[in-house]
Each structure stands twice: as C-alpha cells, then as structure tokens.
C-alpha cells in the first residue's frame, strides 16, 4: 500500500485502542518500535494524559511510580518550540533544573533509544507531543520526517474527533472505578483509598475486582500499566 494509505486507516479507526494500534504499526514498519503520545486532558484542565506502546516495561513502571511526568522536560519543550527534532537533539538543547537532570540521567539508562519528538496541535488549539523511539541509527537517518510528523498530526486530529478523553471510556469503567484506579496509580493502598474516598475497605476491594476483570488483569501493577497505555491515568 502507498505510504499515504495510513491516513485513510487513521480516519477509519473506531476507538483510541484501534487508532493507537494502527499508528504504532505504521511507525514500526519504519523502524520505530515505540510510540509515546502526550496530549492535554479536556476533562482535567492543566493535566496531560499519555498513550504508550513499545516503551521498555521497567522504565514505564519507574515513570509511573515516581510521577516522572511532573518533571519530564521533553514534551513541554517540543510543544513550546513547535519543532521536530531527534530526542538526542532535544536533550542537548533543553534547559533543565537539577531535579530534571536527575530524571534525564535515569532516562539515558532506561533502554529508550534515539527517536523523534514531534509537536501536534488540535483544531481547538490544544497542543500535544508525539514521540517515536526504539529505532536504529540507520532507520532514523532514513526516516521521512515530514511524513512521520504528518501522521502524528493526523492522529492528533483523529483523537480529537473521537474525543480526547475517549481513552478513559475504552473499558467502560465507572467514574468511581476510574477514581480508584487513579489512586492505585498514585501508589495508594486499599486502606489509603478507603480513607481518601470515605468508603469501606470491602467496597474498595470490590471495585478493584471489577477493574481487574474489565481490564483483563490480575494485579494492581498490571492494571496501572494497561490504564497508562490507554491514557486512562
């Protein structure tokens, strides 16, 4: 299929999971085996949600556990500059605090390879970040950056069409279940969550069982990883 066929595939996607699968496959065909998409949340102004496929699992666990999204300078830098650049190029240019420097030291040793950081924008002026990585130097050098960026931009528009927060509805979690899942992602125990929400621990446990069933997982870490991949937390 001609390269431009990817735009039709994006248009035909019926949900965020299908869209992310389609786009991840396209980038993998060009040597980029990881996708990281960060965009503003409409339901929580000032907050961002992240969709991810193919990043090193241990790094994602660490990223979630330490709330690195609060100090990661890469998405903000790309969104602010509006420029497409390699990840290594971005890291050479961005000004960081001591805390961010500590984060970047971990990032360098995480197993994430070089790639591209690309800004995207919505028709409602929302701006996002699209990172593609886990690529060889040869494939990175050969990549058509204009095409890679165009696909990222079209994906942003499709996410907007589906509903930017649609990832939260993929598995039809109730508002209370999504709330509990967020506290689980924040590292809170069942007693902690019960106290925070003013409900009993048996109620928390029941909600967690339903969450696990809906996400097809068997433990808290797996639930958080699935939710993270779908932009639910």
Mean pLDDT by 10 residues, the chain (233 residues): 81 88 96 89 63 88 81 91 95 92 91 95 82 96 96 92 55 80 91 93 93 84 78 64
- pLDDT for 96 equals 92
- pLDDT for 86 equals 97
Q: Is residue 99 a contact partner of residue 91, using CB atoms and an 8 Å limit?
A: no
Q: Which candidate, 218, 231, 225, 112, places its Cα nearest to that of 163? A: 231
Helix (H), strand (E) at residue 133: strand 127-133
- Side-chain half-sphere exposure of 119, counting CA atoms within 13 A: 15
> How does 130-166 read in b/e, with b if 16+ C-beta sit within 10 Å?
bbbbbbeeeebeebeeeebbbbbbbbbebbbebebbb
- pLDDT for 169 equals 45
Provide CATH 1.10.10.10 ranges for the chain: 171-229
User: So what CATH class is 171-229?
Assistant: mainly alpha
- pLDDT for 168 equals 44
- pLDDT for 170 equals 46
Provide CATH 3.30.450.80 ranges for the chain: 5-165
- CATH no. of 5-165: 3.30.450.80
- pLDDT for 49 equals 74
Tally the residues of the chain. Answer: 233
For the question of whether the overall pTM of this predicted structure is more than 0.75, the answer is no
């Amino acid at each position: 299929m001609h390269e431009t066929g990817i735009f039709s595939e994006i248009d035909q996607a019926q949900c965020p999971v299908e869209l992310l699968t389609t786009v991840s496959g396209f980038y993998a065909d060009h040597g980029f085996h990881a996708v990281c998409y960060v965009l503003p949340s409409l339901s929580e102004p000032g907050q961002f949600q992240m969709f991810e496929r193919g990043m090193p699992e241990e790094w994602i666990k660490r990223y979630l556990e330490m709330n690195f999204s609060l100090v990661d300078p890469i998405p903000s830098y790309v969104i602010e500059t509006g420029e497409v650049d390699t990840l290594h190029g971005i890291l050479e240019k961005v000004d960081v605090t001591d805390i961010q420097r500590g984060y970047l030291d971990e990032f360098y040793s995480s197993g994430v390879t070089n790639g591209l950081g690309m800004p995207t924008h919505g028709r409602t002026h929302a701006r996002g970040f699209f990172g593609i990585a886990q690529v060889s130097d040869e494939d990175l050098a050969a990549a058509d950056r204009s095409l890679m960026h165009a696909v990222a931009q079209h994906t942003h528009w499709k996410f907007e069409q589906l509903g930017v927060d649609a990832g939260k509805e993929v598995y039809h979690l109730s508002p209370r279940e999504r709330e509990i899942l967020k506290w689980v992602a924040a590292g809170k125990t069942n007693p902690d969550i019960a106290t925070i929400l003013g409900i009993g621990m048996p109620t928390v446990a029941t909600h967690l069982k339903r969450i696990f069933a809906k996400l097809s997982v068997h433990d808290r870490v797996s639930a958080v990883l699935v939710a993270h991949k779908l932009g639910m937390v």
